[in-house]
Structure 1
């Protein structure tokens, strides 16, 4: 699962994404709401689509209109009514420096920063939401890589550079994406 991630606008890779997203968004009043640093559900951030970077809000509205659905399981997203159309037509990449996960040990929780050591792109889906001019996105998850399974049993799908364009533009399947997903990740304890 991925409930928080880090996106630093100062990094060259991510800074250029922001500039492109701003130019695509024009003089949108939402530009002042763009988040940097630790990203939480409902935050507005630059997301990469097949047409380029776009500002989006994190989280699909729940079925009852309450709460946010922030993740989708890669293994079932193509079949689930909430994600089916987005999986077929509206794929995206979520840029991040790392993501956060918490390991429970009794009543104590330890926070971990998990990443590849370089800017990474997590697989995502997006859609329009009634009443919001910005698209909304979710992050696709998969079973955790063996090296981090002790922290949490799920992790984001990290798309390797060689598959990023295919993920955005063509019908690459879940099995192929899963088998190519980046597992060379590291973790560190944080506060």
Structure 2
């Protein structure tokens, strides 16, 4: 596990999702890649959850999870590293975004970066739809029950207001392995 430098660490939460190939293996590899980032350490990871596709529903179910990182990377640096991990896993993104809701080998979303609110081209934190997505809130609340979504409130309160009935943990033994 890489050691953090003396830079102050920021707590960031990353959503992971996959619905193509061996999704469990893809998510475990992505978690190891996140843990290997410079000046970054994985501090917690949720169980894997089977979730119905969101947005474009005529595709296979996803496996989703959330990772909690301690990082000295900026939000922009972390996002760039996440996009590189996606590319290494075989994910390609169309420039026009038309594949945004489609099937994917790996999807990494920066959900929260401490208490930061960032609205820049290509970088929006907190994730704009986090408070509406049970597939992200369930694993987030599992590992950080007191997580706050800036401008919204506690993640567990956002989760209480939406239907999470179709989100299923696929077993307590399916936590990410390092």
Global fold match (TM > 0.5): no
Higher helix share: 2
Structure 1 or 2, whichever has the larger Rg, is: 1
TM-score bin (small chain): under 0.3
Q: TM-score, structure 2 length as denominator?
A: 0.27
Q: TM-score, structure 1 length as denominator?
A: 0.26
Higher strand share: 1
1 or 2 for the larger relative contact order (CA 8 Å, sep ≥6)?
A: 2
